[in-house]
Amino acid sequence: MVAPAPESLTFRFLRSLVGWLVDRFYRINVLHQAPLPEGGVLLLPNHLTWVDALMLQLSYPRQIRFLVDDAIYRRPLLNPILRMAGALPVSPKRATGAVRAAVDALRRGEVVCLFPEGELSRSGMLLRLRRGFELIAREAGTPVVPVWLDQLWGSIFSFADGKFFFKWPRQLPYPVTVAFGEPISADKADVALLRERLLELGERCYQSRPEMRRHLGREAVRGLRRTRHAVALVDGMDGSELKAGTLLAAGLALSREIRRRCPGGRIGIVLPPGKGAAIANLAVVLANKVPVNLNFTAGRESLEAATRIAQVEHTITATAFQSRLVDFPWSREVLLLDELMPSLKRSVVGWRLLVELLPAGILSDLAGLPTTGDQAEAIVLFTSGSSGDPKGVVLSHRNLLGNVSQFAMMLGLGPDAAVLGCLPIFHSFGSTVTLWYPILEGIRMVCYPSPLDIPKNAELIAKHRVTLLCSTPTFLRGYLRKAEPEQLSSLQLIVTGAERLPMELADAFEARFGKPVLQGYGLTETSPVVSVNLPDPLRLKPHYSIQPSSRRGSVGKLAPGMAAQVRDPETDEKLSLHATGMLWLKGPNIFEGYLDDPKRTAEVLREQWLKTGDLGRFDEDGFLFIEGRLSRFSKIGGEMVPHETIETRLLEALGIAPEEKALAVTGVPDAAKGESLVVLTTREVDSQEIRTKLGVAGLPNLWIPRRFVQVPEIPHLATGKLDLRRIRELAEQS
């Protein structure tokens, strides 16, 4: 091993001076996964701001030689400083020389840093990693160390808010975390492994942020108190408005009543989106109890199981809504909002005065809220039961605060934004994205009790200038038929989840409304947002490249603070991120487990990694592609056969539009081949003719179904997803 040359006095002076200046504005926290290697080391960090190099150098004990773009290196003001710092200029025209200089420095035992993205991120996300570092590492034969710079996004030197420099710092001193990962040997260093390691470092940094330990109730008080004079909620049923201060006061008043009347830890809520649901959920959390929003569209047996598992003894609803649910298994005691709230009018007025006078911290203390929530249970949601009995998904304070902060960073919506809240709150999308996200971030929510009433929802979007529409492909098809383009003109973002977005639907929607549909991905167990496509950042200058933030057919890039692995579905052996396999995820938004169900929890949670049940892969730009749910594959003769692909081909062969929901493919046990395919369809079909068409279309013989069963309707859940369990039961019964 070659001993590096000692640092010069000039460099030491420069480092001390810069360190003194940086200390005035930043607080740097350094994390190490392993001891830093001696001798030559190639550092590979993410790139968020113009001051990344300063943060790195002040965090590393040895002098770092940075590869710097030649145009920047030669700027008169910067050149003397960069020369003193030992920077290595790199130019596309003389790339070979820069590579040789970096290799020579590494062989001399020096530390070299290359930003593998090659440019500053304009979205806060990790960009495509360029392969130049692979050549340098192999030529030099030295290890590479991934480095993650955390929390710098949002500082004045980042592109947050769509501009560099010209913005106020969000806080002073500004916290920064620099995390050094485990060294990767030169022969194993490639872009897929580097991305995997960088994401894991980012996840570790995100988890260490102090705000992840806070209490959901305290953050709700802080968010609503900050925007107390702004309209927080518009109820689409009666047109009434609630200002944030009034919503907070109502929640605080009701929370006292809940504490007095409900000794249990979990409180059931049976209400559609609207004023009542927002106040009830807020009040339960402010009472330091756990809201359990029950799926009132589910069957009685499923609801009885949910209330039993969650030990719900008190339920909040409204008289008018209770009267509509004839066969609902109500808990021992039912609290009716329309009776409770008028009796609390004086209390609401008193709290409203306190909201105006007192800071958020004191209000939270008066409400009796703990200072931390962290991994304690915050809410419970029950899965829809598409492939099994309902499971109580425990989401912690960390989960919800983490996912809201992730979502807020990705969207970057301004203070005038408004979200349409029509998705049911018993669904994770409706709970986190259209309820808690607006409350915590000060986003106006326009509520309506059903996503199915498209004309009314379109009217509300137009009237209240809604900017964010979160929906499912099933509901979006309704807008194509029943909404006018001018009604959706205010929308800036249209995000879909819960099911795969058909490209023909996305194209038709954009053609009619002039708005792109951005597909995302999430699970109840991930709180729910995992990834989402976003609009591309603006081009600042004509010669600047555009960094893609969306990719057709993908579900976007991972949310900040999430790590991913791709593993073999059968052996769990780790694969390259670029291979197709079982998707495993880790992050602050990964749930705590299934309620009182350690067996099923152990099946999907291992060392804080979640087995999603979905097969996926990443491309070189970091976009995630979901190839299908494992439960939507059959293993026939040792080969994985995708149900959704076959359904698409069947619809084409039969000339049926997807929105007609006329068929579904499932698998049933087969003694000879493991499984066989069964097609449930609402149409009368000639099976031999269809099989011939599928063969002519190029579908492999193993993928062509032999059995077709006609049924009155294809079972679906309230969210629009296929009811996979019921479909399989029908196929087996046939």
Mean pLDDT of 367-393: 85
How would residue 319 be classed by pLDDT, with cut points 50, 70 and 90? very high
Strand partners, 708: 679
CA distance 485 to 462: 10
Task: State the pLDDT at residue 3.
Answer: 53
Which candidate, 622, 624, 623, places its Cα nearest to that of 129?
622
Going by pLDDT thresholds of 50, 70 and 90, the confidence category of residue 341 is very high
R_g of the chain computed on alpha carbons? 28
| Fold for the domain defined by 637-733 | GMP Synthetase; Chain A, domain 3 (3.30.300)
Domain residue ranges in the chain: 9-208, 216-534+552-613, 637-733
Query: Given pLDDT bands bounded at 50, 70 and 90, which one contains residue 509?
Result: very high
CA separation for the pair 419, 231 (Å, rounded) = 12
- Using CB atoms within 10 Å of the CB of residue 453, give its burial: 0 to 12 exposed, 13 to 18 middle, 19+ buried: middle
Mean pLDDT of 177-190: 93
Q: Evaluate whether 145 touches 42 at the Cβ level (below 8 Å).
A: yes
**HSE, side-chain direction, 13 A CA sphere, residue 240:** 8
State the average pLDDT over residues 542-553. Answer: 80
Q: In this predicted model, what pLDDT tens digit does every residue of 616-645 receive, in sequence order?
A: 999 999 999 998 777 777 878 667 788 888
Summarize pLDDT for 11-60 with one digit per residue, the tens: 777 777 777 877 778 888 898 888 888 889 999 999 988 888 888 988 88
Residue from 208, 219, 331, 204 nearest 267 by CA: 331
> Do the beta carbons of residue 255 and residue 286 sit within 8 Å?
yes
- Mean pLDDT (whole number) for 190-210: 95
| Residue 494: per-residue pLDDT | 94
Residue 2 predicted with pLDDT over 70: no
Confidence grade of residue 541 (pLDDT, cut at 50, 70, 90): low
Burial class (CB in 10 A: 0-12, 13-18, 19+), 445: buried
C-alpha distances out from residue 560 to 373, 502, 543, Å: 21, 26, 28
- Sign of the torsion angle spanned by Cα atoms 680, 681, 684, 689: negative
Please give the pLDDT value at position 701. 83
Predicted pLDDT of residue 80: 76
655 pLDDT band, cuts 50/70/90, is confident
% the chain with pLDDT above 70:
95
Q: Which pLDDT score, from 0 to 100, does residue 67 have?
A: 85
Query: Hey, which residues does 30 pair with through a beta bridge?
Result: 178
Q: For all residues of the chain together, what is the average pLDDT?
A: 88
Q: Where are the alpha helices (DSSP H) in 655-722?
A: 687-696
| Of 678 and 632, more confident | 678
- Residue 546 pLDDT > 80: no
Distance (Å, whole) CA 284 – CA 289 = 5
Least-confidence region, from 29-43, 90-104, 333-347, 583-597:
90-104
From 158-162, 413-417, 679-683, the region with the lowest mean pLDDT: 158-162
- Whether the per-residue pLDDT at 672 is higher than 80: the answer is no
Residue 527's pLDDT is 94
What pLDDT is recorded for position 380? 96
Mean of the pLDDT values across residues 505-517?
A: 93
Which pLDDT score, from 0 to 100, does residue 643 have?
87
Per-residue model confidence (pLDDT) at position 54 = 87
Residues 710-727: pLDDT tens digits?
888 998 876 667 888 888
Look up residue 47 and give its two tokens.
């790139």
C-alpha to C-alpha distance for 509 and 513, rounded to whole angstroms: 6
* Per-residue model confidence (pLDDT) at position 694: 86
Confidence class for position 674, pLDDT limits 50, 70, 90: confident
Confidence (pLDDT) at 384? 62
Average the pLDDT over 58-82 and give the result: 81
CATH architecture of 216-534+552-613: 3-Layer(aba) Sandwich (3.40)
